[in-house]
């Protein structure tokens, strides 16, 4: 079964080709460079870039998969959640393809893509976690952390989702992006903050760290630590960072008045990035462990979303799985940030379990759902 999958939900134009769970190609055209100077994704710019690129990305995905258009059995596309005018570009392209090829249309929830990204089979015919059939992973608890979502999901079967906890305001990735802005580190924040935290760890190991930096007060509160539920608030952490950075700058100014060697922002920012990551992880961990303790029958812990690119986050989540006797599944690198490969996987399960498959004659009604939820 050949699935052609499309994702234009945010700032990546992506098309993938799958043969069942095996990803034959997953081409991503990133718009990061276009949005960088605005410090975030600008919907109008995203829409224009998707329109310009989708034809090329589609052709490239088909070529790399070594298939022909006529081999496609299903056309899958993200219908939400995401930016309305960006989603529309992918949906229109998928509709046209589905009706031209006379093949069924599979509307996919982007978060189901992140959830099942770790079940992909690579070109060597292997799944990194050794998953042979999807039912091996249920019941599962998933932690999905991206630029727009922070959710803990419990699922007994494909298509059946309970959102146990979610962010009440900013998403975890969004906090990385906003804190990076506070620190003048550019967009997107996650990769730079991780890079600088790595530098801090190196400095500590090699004994190169300035001792004045270690003395600066960088204590940050763990958001929603005692809230009693499983929800998150990363906007609180962002605000705490804003005030803390202001205090640190004042403190550094005082120190520099008397110090022989002056402290620069590049000296202390590495430690701040490291501490920010640790507090973010703590915030995720507290709620995740609570969820695991509630759902005693869970068999696996699945993680997904752009923040999973952070190796500190993945390592801690993998340890939590181990400590709780859960099978741990994290996506391969190429399926962590937005990509159509993961959309194709979710579509594969939809086809397998006959969930929401639309005949090409009935697609005119198909529309974007910007706030689509997994438990809808
Ligand atoms: O899943 P994704 O690619 O797009 C959405 O669906 O939102 O996630 C993007 C988010 C951005 O906020 C970005 O800063 C974050 O993932 N991110 C990271 C890292 N790499 C990307 N966050 C923390 N550490 C990283 N290494
Ligand atoms: Zn995403």
Counting ligands in written order, which one lies closest to the CA of residue 39? 1
Residues in the ligand 1 pocket, defined by CB under 6 Å: 10, 146-148, 173-174, 176-177, 188-191, 194, 305-307, 309-310, 337-338
Residues lining ligand 2 (ion), CB within 5 A? 146, 338
- pLDDT bin (cut points 50, 70, 90) of residue 31 is confident
The residues spanned by each domain of the chain are 1-128+332-376, 133-331
Q: What per-residue confidence (pLDDT) applies to 38?
A: 84
Q: What per-residue confidence (pLDDT) applies to 234?
A: 96
Average pLDDT over residues 291-297: 97
Counting ligands in written order, which one lies closest to the CA of residue 150? 1
Q: Report phi then psi at 310, rounded to 5.
A: -80, 115
Q: What per-residue confidence (pLDDT) applies to 8?
A: 98
- List the residue whose alpha carbon is closest to atom 14 of ligand 1: 190
Q: What per-residue confidence (pLDDT) applies to 4?
A: 98
- 145-177 pLDDT per residue, tens: 999 999 999 999 999 999 999 999 999 999 999
Distance of CA 35 from the midpoint of ligand 1 (Å): 14
Q: Flag whether pLDDT at 198 surpasses 90.
A: yes
Mutate to test the pocket of ligand 1, among 7, 176, 278, 331 (most ligand atoms within 8 A of CB): 176
Contacts 24+ apart (CB under 8 A), 124-132: 125/22, 127/21, 128/332, 129/327, 129/328, 129/329, 129/330, 131/329
- List the residue whose alpha carbon is closest to atom 2 of ligand 1: 306
Q: Flag whether pLDDT at 32 surpasses 90.
A: no
∠ at Cα 252 (251, 257), nearest 5°? 100
- 213-270 pLDDT per residue, tens: 999 999 999 999 999 999 999 999 999 999 999 999 999 999 999 988 899 999 999 9
- 170-187 pLDDT per residue, tens: 999 999 999 999 999 998
Q: What per-residue confidence (pLDDT) applies to 98?
A: 98
Average pLDDT over residues 342-352: 98
Q: What per-residue confidence (pLDDT) applies to 210?
A: 87
Which atom of ligand 1 is the closest one to the Cα of 9? 6
CATH architecture of 133-331: 2-Layer Sandwich (3.30)
Distance of CA 89 from the midpoint of ligand 1 (Å): 22
- DSSP helix/strand/coil, 96: helix
Q: Flag whether pLDDT at 40 surpasses 90.
A: no
Among the residue ranges 28-37, 311-320, 361-370, the one predicted with the least confidence is 28-37
Q: What per-residue confidence (pLDDT) applies to 317?
A: 98
Distance of CA 67 from the midpoint of ligand 1 (Å): 31
Q: What per-residue confidence (pLDDT) applies to 144?
A: 98
Distance of CA 213 from the midpoint of ligand 2 (Å): 36
Distance of CA 147 from the midpoint of ligand 2 (Å): 7
Counting ligands in written order, which one lies closest to the CA of residue 343? 2
Counting ligands in written order, which one lies closest to the CA of residue 311? 1
Distance of CA 309 from the midpoint of ligand 2 (Å): 12
Distance of CA 273 from the midpoint of ligand 1 (Å): 15
- 102-120 pLDDT per residue, tens: 999 999 999 999 999 999 9
Longest dimension (CA), the chain: 76
Mutate to test the pocket of ligand 1, among 307, 330, 338 (most ligand atoms within 8 A of CB): 307
* Residue 130 token pair: 């050794």
Average pLDDT over residues 267-295: 98
Q: What per-residue confidence (pLDDT) applies to 260?
A: 85
Counting ligands in written order, which one lies closest to the CA of residue 112? 2
Please, what is the angle between helix 234-258 and helix 265-294, to 10°? 150
Distance of CA 25 from the midpoint of ligand 2 (Å): 18
Which atom of ligand 1 is the closest one to the Cα of 180? 14
- 297-309 pLDDT per residue, tens: 999 999 999 999 9
- DSSP helix/strand/coil, 13: strand
- pLDDT bin (cut points 50, 70, 90) of residue 41 is confident
Q: What per-residue confidence (pLDDT) applies to 253?
A: 95
Q: What is the mean pLDDT of the chain?
A: 96
C-alpha to C-alpha distance for 147 and 305, rounded to whole angstroms: 8
Q: Flag whether pLDDT at 209 surpasses 90.
A: no
CATH architecture of 1-128+332-376: 2-Layer Sandwich (3.30)
């Amino acid at each position: 079964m050949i699935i052609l999958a499309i994702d234009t939900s945010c700032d990546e134009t992506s098309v993938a080709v799958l043969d069942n769970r095996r990803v034959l190609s997953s081409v991503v055209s990133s718009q990061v460079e276009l949005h960088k100077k605005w410090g975030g994704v600008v919907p109008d710019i995203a829409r224009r870039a998707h329109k310009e690129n989708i034809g090329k990305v589609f052709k490239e995905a088909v070529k790399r998969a070594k298939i022909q258009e006529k081999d496609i059995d299903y056309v899958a596309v993200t219908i939400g959640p995401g930016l309305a005018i960006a989603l529309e570009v992918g949906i229109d392209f998928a509709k046209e393809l589905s009706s031209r090829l006379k093949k069924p249309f599979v509307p996919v929830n982007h978060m189901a893509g992140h959830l099942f990204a770790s079940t992909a089979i690579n070109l060597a015919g292997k799944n990194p976690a050794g998953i042979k059939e999807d039912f091996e992973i249920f019941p599962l608890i998933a932690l999905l952390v991206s630029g727009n979502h922070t959710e803990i999901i419990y699922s007994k079967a494909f298509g059946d989702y309970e959102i146990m906890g979610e962010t009440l305001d900013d998403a975890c990735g969004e906090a990385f992006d906003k804190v990076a802005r506070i620190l003048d580190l550019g967009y997107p924040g996650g990769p730079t903050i991780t890079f600088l935290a790595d530098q801090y760890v190196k400095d500590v190991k090699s004994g190169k760290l300035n001792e004045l930096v270690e003395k600066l007060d960088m204590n940050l509160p763990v958001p929603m630590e005692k809230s009693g539920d499983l929800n998150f608030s990363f906007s609180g952490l962002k605000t705490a960072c804003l005030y803390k950075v202001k205090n640190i700058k004042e403190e550094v100014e005082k120190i520099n008045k008397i110090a022989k060697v002056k402290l620069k922002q590049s000296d202390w920012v590495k430690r701040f990035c490291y501490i920010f990551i640790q507090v973010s992880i703590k915030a995720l961990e507290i709620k995740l462990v609570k969820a695991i303790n509630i759902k005693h029958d869970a068999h696996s812990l699945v993680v997904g979303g752009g923040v999973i690119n952070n190796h500190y986050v993945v390592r801690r989540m993998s340890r939590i799985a181990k400590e709780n006797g859960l099978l741990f599944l994290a996506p391969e690198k190429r399926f962590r940030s937005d990509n159509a490969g993961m959309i194709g996987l979710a579509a594969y399960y939809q086809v397998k379990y006959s969930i929401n498959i639309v005949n090409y004659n009935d697609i005119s009604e198909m529309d974007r759902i910007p706030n689509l939820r997994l438990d809808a």
